[in-house]
Amino acid sequence: MADINIRKDRLAGRITFTRPQALNALSHAMALAIDEALEGWRDDPKVRLVIIDAEGDRAFCAGGDIAAVYRAGLSGDHQVGRDFFRDEYRMNAKIADFPKPIVAFMQGFVMGGGVGVGGHASSRVVCESTQIAMPEAGIGLIPDVGGSWLLGHAPGRVGEYLGLTSGRMGPGDAIFAGFADTYLPEAEWPALIELLAETGDISLVKGGPRPDAPLERMDLAAFGGRTVAEIIASLEAAGDERALKPLLRNSPLSMAATLALVRAARGDRSVRDSLAREYRFTFRATAESDFLEGVRAQIIDKDREPKWAADPSDGHVRALLEPLGDDDLKWEDAE
């Protein structure tokens, strides 16, 4: 496949995103290819570890390629999105639960679907250019691909802050928040990848001191509010315009659902529980949320002026997160 290069390299399974012109956006076909590769390598004695990296200097993976989901949803076909999210989430879980080490080298933009691939690896390497974010509330969706799990397990109220504001993390913040493990300048990556492929020795992944993490010094007490309205009121009272601005811009429904998802994830046993809950929202997203309008405004027409219309009430959020019955996310290894 032209968009992804999957091969065995000595003792390593190798997955490389190869569509830098599209910021290595993850398509449905790419998600299926990753899943198939991992399935084949799980019991392959010649593969001791997996290395995931990407071509280009702008992005590891800037998100999911959702143009097809948008077009289908606009025409009333909601199954295209449901199939994409289902298969993507199964792949995310496979990365998180893989029995062999997976090392992800994440440069540049790592957003949405990119976090779903790199953020669940057992060893996550970042560099000076890394910018990680879950910006879904800005397109009328929710932090999915296991994003609610990562946000829910970030320290303090960092998860609520990042999920509601779509805030970006540099390498220091990413390590502090639990989205990455190791800082290593990108110039040193090729030599490490060579060593990993040659030896299969995960202990060789070592980096330097963690860069500065501004998040560690921020007062995020306002994000402990019970509702988005309470959080906004607290930010207004504190005069925190920087944090307030994105909350007045993002989808009210998406933020309300994000708050529920992040807090629910704190009680989950594994990322699979969080993914299953996220799927309940994304299964319904093209029909019952602000998602199509958000994609139109931010990605298709790029006028950056979404007209949010979906009901953000507690009742609607609960309805969107209700079990799907026979359509609930199922795991291949449990079927």
- Known catalytic residue: 113? yes
CA dist 287 and 283 (Å) reads: 9
315, 297, 314: which is closest to 306 by C-alpha?
A: 297
**Residue of 144, 181, 278, 290 with catalytic role:** 144
How far does Cα 119 stand from its chain's mean position?
A: 7
* 35-39 long-range Cβ contacts below 8 angstroms, 24+ apart: 35/87, 35/90, 35/91, 35/94, 37/6, 37/13, 38/13, 38/91, 38/94, 38/95, 38/98, 39/94
User: Measuring CA to CA, how many Å separate 8 from each of 41, 55, 60, 196, 216?
Assistant: 9, 17, 20, 12, 40
Bridge-based pairing of strands 4-9 and 182-183 is unpaired
- Known catalytic residue: 64? yes
Cβ-based neighbour number of residue 335 at 10 Å: 5
**Residue of 35, 53, 65, 136 with catalytic role:** 136
CA dist 167 and 165 (Å) reads: 5
How far does Cα 179 stand from its chain's mean position?
A: 10
User: Measuring CA to CA, how many Å separate 96 from each of 151, 156, 264, 297?
Assistant: 15, 23, 19, 33
CA dihedral in degrees (253, 280, 289, 163; nearest 10)? 40
Strand partners, 105: 125
Phi–psi pair at 241, nearest 5 degrees? -65, -35
- Known catalytic residue: 144? yes
Count, residues in the chain: 335
**Residue of 64, 108, 172, 294 with catalytic role:** 64
CA 139, 60, 148, 31 dihedral sign is positive
The amino acid that residue 90 corresponds to is R
**Residue of 13, 63, 81, 113 with catalytic role:** 113
List residues with catalytic annotation: 64, 113, 136, 144
